[in-house]
Structure formats: C-alpha cells, structure tokens
Amino acid sequence: MVPQPNPLETAAQRPVVIVGAGALGSLLAARLSQAGLAVVLVGRAAQVQAIQQGGLTVHDDAGTQVLSVPATTDIGVVGQAGLVLLCVKSGDTENAARDLAAPLLHDTPLLSLQNGVANAPLLALRLQRPVLAGAAYIAAALEGPGVVRHAGGRSIVMGAVPGPQGHALPEVAIHLAQQRLQAAGFDVRLSAAPQNELWRKLAINCACNAISALAQAPYGVMATVPAVRELQHAVVREAVAVAQAEGQALALEDILGAVDRVAQTMSKQRSSTAQDLARGRRSEVEHINGEVLRAGARHGLATPANHALWALVKLCEAMQTRNHPV
C-alpha cells in the first residue's frame, strides 16, 4: 500500500495565515516573511491596499525594511493555511469565528493572540474544536497604512484549550505552531495552563493600557509619577484578587514586577488602547478592565480602581462618537 500523508505534515507545508492586520498581526507577518516562511495577511481594505501597493514597512532598532507580503481582505484564504493566527480585536472575535467556520480546515491549528481571557474559550465553543491560546508580550504600533513599528518584546506564552467535548489538540499541532513562531525569532514557551497566562497578561494590561490611553503617555513616563504607580498597584491588587477568585494562580508581587518591567523594556511605547483612542477607534477596555469588573461582580469583589479607568475610557469613546458621528 502507498502510505497516506499525515495531515499535520501537509499542514506544515501550507502558509501561515494571519487574520487581523493591526499592529501585532502586521508585525507577525513581517517577522515570518523575514524568516522565509510563507505567510498571508488578512485585514481591512486600507491596510491591505497599502501593503499591496507599497509593501509592508517595518521599523525597529535595526532600521527600516520594506517587505513584499501577500495581503487580502478575503478571509477565505484560511482554507489554504497550515496555521492560522487570530489577531483581531476581542470585540470582533464572535464575527471572526463565524467567518472562519466554513473555510478553516479541521487539521489547521488556530492560535488566538488576542487581549482578554474569553477569546479562546469562545472560539472553541463556536468552532466546536480545540484551539490554542497565546499571551503575546510584544510592543508594536501601526504608524500608518502599511507601516508597523516593533518597539520591543518577542515573548509568547501559549497552550491548548480543549474543544467543547473535551477533544484535545494533537501535540504535533502545538509544536508546529511553536516551531514556526520560533523560526520567526519569537521566544515561545508552552504552558499547560494558558488561561492562567492570559489572566496574568490581563492584570498587567489593566495596570498599563487605560492609563496610557487617557494621558496618551508612554509607559516610561507613567513610571516616573508616584501617584500613577500607586494607582497601578491598586488596579493590580484588584485584578489579582479577581483572578484568584476565578481559580487562577496569580501572585501579586509577580504582576507588580511585570508592570515595572514593562516601563523599563517598553519605555517609549504607548498602549494599544492609547493607539485606538488616538485614531478614534473603539478600544478593548471592555475586555481588559471590564473583564475584571464583571468577574469581580460574580464573586462579590469590589473593583473601584478598575471601574474608574474603565469609565473614563468609555467617556473618551463616547466623546469621540459625539464629535465624529458615523
């Protein structure tokens, strides 16, 4: 008999398709392309058109490079993928799951690299399959259509989230995703508890993102203001208490130390929430500080610091809508 090809081996020969051409998605596409891996970027029309016409421009400490990266608005290309990286905003996950359902092949690993803790379980439920969940500690910013800046960080922690029937993702699929990202220069660590990693990143984001957005301040400047540091500590205490009530093994000192390291290693970076507000776009505050509010309410835990930041970002969004109605 002629041996039949292993579906996961053939998946390794297919391109990486990145759904979501924002800062993180564009940077991932650039790094994969630089490593010589086949990649396709799926995004909105303005970003895709800019990349198609002038390439994807990447700025980092080493200089500037313009890359030829295939880009399209057609999510149907995921049917050609050996690995799909989902990098859309958390508020778009439901729609993404709907659009992925038909074209996504059963043997293609799907890795969510999104802010928040609810995306991977939602994808597993909607798609009726196990997925990968990742926490990306990567600072990137879109400086215009087709232009992305890498401001620091290459760490990704990821692990498998079972499907609704308890179906597990094959180990070879997990390692396929890890190997491709490692080949692109990322430090990828596997975790048996990905939700714990996502809660850890959520607590860090709660302390950094909204404050950066409200003041349009980089992390390094935030760290020089004692009152801001006190506020960040209050936010982290609430987030850690809520995460622990949710069954996640977070340690207060670990998160506080991580917040300090963000200010040191990404001192010139503004948060993704700051970038969203600066562009008049809807932010992910509902899936960051808002997640802490909802989980806190479930457990009877007060979260006033997170509530204040959430409310102020919502006010900024309301004023943008008022000043620039659709």
The catalytic residue positions are 201
Contact 61, 88 (CB under 8 A): no
Torsion of CA 147, 197, 184, 126, to 10 degrees: -80
In the chain, DSSP finds a helix count (H) and a strand count (E) of 13, 10
Going by DSSP bridges, is the β-strand pair 39-42/63-67 parallel, antiparallel, or unpaired?
A: unpaired
Under 8 Å CB-to-CB from 297, ≥6 apart: which residues? none
Question: What's the rounded Cα separation, in Å, for the pair 153 and 237?
Answer: 25
The CA R_g of the chain, rounded to the nearest whole Å, is 19
DSSP state at residue 144: E
Side-chain-side CA neighbours of 83 within 13 Å: the count stands at 26
Tokens at 43, concatenated: 């995004």
Candidates 193, 194, 294, 189; CA nearest to 239 is: 294
